[in-house]
């Protein structure tokens, strides 16, 4: 005679295994140590400061809409 298999338990076990595999993939893709995150943020900040320091003219936030700088809105 054949053995009785609980299909519900098998489905639940398979779902747990799939969920664990997805979680492992996400940890590998998104999980980084705090030290790595801090180091990357510091490097990005330093790069932005260097770029701002090499600007030819300071950025005042105003943009020129036309070729005539004396034109008013």
pLDDT in tens, 1-10: 788 888 999 9
User: What percent of the chain has pLDDT above 70?
Assistant: 78
28 has a pLDDT exceeding 60: yes
- What is the rounded distance in angstroms from the CA atom of residue 70 to the CA atom of residue 73? 10
What pTM, to 2 d.p., does this model score?
A: 0.42
Q: Which residues, at least 6 apart from 65, have a Cβ–Cβ distance to it below 8 Å? A: 71, 73
The yes-or-no verdict on residue 67 having pLDDT over 80 is no
Q: What is the pLDDT of residue 56?
A: 83
Is pLDDT above 70 for 60?
no
């Amino acid at each position: 005679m054949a053995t009785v298999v609980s299909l519900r338990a098998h489905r639940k076990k398979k779902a747990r295994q799939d969920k664990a595999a997805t979680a492992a993939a996400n940890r590998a893709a998104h999980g980084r140590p705090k030290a790595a995150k801090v180091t990357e943020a510091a490097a990005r900040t330093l790069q932005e400061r260097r770029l701002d320091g090499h600007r030819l003219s300071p950025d005042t936030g105003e943009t020129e809409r036309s070729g005539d700088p004396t034109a008013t809105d």
